[in-house]
Amino acid sequence: MTDDDAVFRALADGSRRQLLDRLRARDGQTLGQLCQGLAMTRQAVAKHLAILEEANLVAWHRQGREKLHFINPVPIHQIARRWVTQFDQPRLDALAALKERLEAPGTTDDIE
Amino acid sequence: MSNAFVYVTYIRTTPDKLWRALTDNTFMRLYWLGCEGQSDWQPGSPWRLVNREGQVMDTGEVLEAAPPFRLVLKWRNEFRPELNAEGYSRCAFEIEPLVDTGIVKLSITHTMEQEGGAKFIQAVSGGWPLILSNLKSLLETGEVLAASKAQFDTRAVG
Q: Which of A1, A74, A81 sits opposite B9 (nearest CB)?
A: A74
**CATH code at position B122:** 3.30.530.20
The whole-number mean pLDDT for each consecutive block of 10 residues of chain B, a chain of 158 residues, reads 84 94 90 92 97 94 97 95 93 95 94 84 85 90 60 43
Domains identified in chain B, total number: 1
Domain residues for B74?
4-154
**Burial class, B88, CB count within 10 angstroms (exposed 0-12 / middle 13-18 / buried 19+):** middle
Domains of chain A, earliest start first: 4-72 (1.10.10.10), 76-105 (no CATH)
Beta B70-77 vs B4-11: how paired, if at all? unpaired
Amino acid identity of A31?
A: L
**Residues ≥6 apart with Cβ < 8 Å to A101:** A107, A111
**Residues ≥6 apart with Cβ < 8 Å to B7:** A59, A70, A72, A73, A74, B107, B108, B125, B128, B129, B132
Chain A positions in Cβ-Cβ contact with residue B7 (cut-off 8 Å): 59, 70, 72-74
Contact A69, A60 (CB under 8 A): yes
Per-residue pLDDT, B24: 93
Average pLDDT for chain A: 87
**What is the distance in angstroms between the Cα of A22 and the nearest Cα belonging to chain B?**
11
